[in-house]
Amino acid sequence: MATEKGRKVCVTGAGGYAASWVVKLLLSRDYLVHGTVKELSDEKNAHLYKLEKASENLKLFKADLLDYNSLYSAIAGCDGVFHVASPVPSTTVPNPEVELIEPAVKGTLNVLKACLEANVKRVVVVSSEAAVSLNPSWPKGCVMDETCWSDKEYCRTTNNWYCLSKTEAESEALEFAKKTGLDVVTVCPTLVLGPLLQSKVNASSLVLIKLLREGYESLENKLRFIVDVRDVAEALLLAYEKPEAEGRYICMAHMIKARELADKLKSKYPSYNYPKSFTEVAEEKMLSSEKLQKLGWSDRPLEETLSDSIESYKKAGLLD
């Protein structure tokens, strides 16, 4: 998709965990980047200005997902948009409809409407495995692929509001594309780990930090689906640049049980407070990233992701 004339792109929620790596990658590939942030003076965006080529090729815009005009100002003149911004709760949400569903769905539609008005060539929307895998009616033993969607009613009845927000937002995005002809590609990452660029810890990194220091008496030996944040950024750029990219893509690199993950970490970092025991769980779902791999995507070793994550957390003062 990117040509000499198509190298100005917008990244929503630019200061966030995954979005920061997308900005970094785009700058390294000589893109001109517009980034949306909640506050221009926010210290949470300081790391963006330190990125290589940021001083000449990065421009930040104050924008809110629920404020159409602010989004349009950032998107106008861009050939591509990476819609990464979406609320991810790290604690219980008292009012999920207002705090999660509305920003996710209305925010996504505002971005897409602005893209349509600005004649954007392609939009890459970051969804989540959460929009794929919460489907109790999917046949047992069948690998979940891009044809599988989380069941919205099941999400509601189980109070799985984050899954519902991602499912609603992604399905609305693809429906909008169908109705308007806007070129929209969605990418559904699993649990995203890897080094931090931003100063504030994010929800997915907390999963790993808690495994190391929480000292659980017992933890379910669940299957974890992990992907490196740097590989997610590469997947999003592939989805933008490859003309043949279409529809949705699951972005998952490694499947590993919680006990095996803890053992792997303990062998290199023995001093942390690991779970004392693990309880077995029923047979679990399986996912496939075959469609994304066919597009040319590859991933780094899990050991690299884990060690780079932990060294990053130490540097940030999140781990001893």
Q: What is the pLDDT of residues 96-152, one digit of tens each?
A: 888 788 889 999 999 999 999 999 999 999 999 999 999 999 998 899 999 999 999
Active-site option among 53, 113, 152, 166: 166
Residues 214-257: tens digit of each pLDDT: 889 999 999 999 999 999 999 999 999 999 999 999 999 999 99
Instruction: Give me the DSSP letters along 127-165.
Output: --GGGTS--TTSPTTPPB-TT----HHHHHHTT-HHHHH
Decide if pLDDT at 36 tops 50: yes
How many Å apart are CA 107 and CA 215, to the nearest integer?
A: 38
Residue 86 confidence (pLDDT): 78
Tell me which H or E stretch contains 227: strand 223-228
Nearest to 227 by CA among 294, 304, 135, 286: 304
And the tokens for 165?
Answer: 């927000």
pLDDT digits (tens, 9 = 90+) for 38-51: 988 778 899 999 99
Amino acid at 211: L
Angstrom distance (rounded) from CA 87 to CA 249: 21
Q: What's the average model confidence in pLDDT over 22-36? A: 97
3-class SS at 219?
strand
Mean pLDDT, residues 178-199: 96
50 is known as an active-site residue: no
